[in-house]
Amino acid sequence: MKVGIGADHRGFALKVGIVDFLAHTGHAVTDYGAHSEDSVDYPDIALKCAEDVRDGKTDFGILSCYTGQGMAMTANKVRGIRAAICTTPETAALTRAHNNANVLVIPGTLTWDTQTQSIVTAFLDTPFEGGRHLRRVKIIEEYENKHPSNL
């Protein structure tokens, strides 16, 4: 699987653990930065990651900043992106199964540990259920298509 990953300076430490985990589990990783704890502008990173998910260059995106809010808000500005902040494996699995989320956002306040590894695994391994959930995702897509100036 191809996974794009990005973080600002406050999510950098978490990103390092995720990149290592993804590489060791056989995923192809595209790293959008940050490459240190030096201050960077999170929107630049989030937009590039989200655009590559949208364009099919990566299958999923993973983003991190201190709260996760800035990355999620920015990524969700890209048409076709459904970025979700997840802090438990259960929310990661449900956001994939019910919302067909394609970008996982993890707050940089979390540390890389087995719980965070389980969040990443649940997100990447859980398929979209479709059914009644597909109807709801299509409502979002229809809105995006009818209101392109809102994006």
* Residue 108 · residue 88 · CB < 8 Å: no
98 is an active site residue: yes
Identify the active-site residue in 49, 98, 133, 147.
98
Beta bridge partners of 117: none
Identify the active-site residue in 27, 49, 65, 86.
65
> CA 52, 43, 22, 130: dihedral to nearest 10 degrees?
-60
65 is an active site residue: yes
Which residue in the block uniquely carries the two structure tokens 């299509």? 138
DSSP assignments along 9-41, one per residue: TTTHHHHHHHHHHHHHTT-EEEE----SSS---
Active site residues per annotation? 65, 98
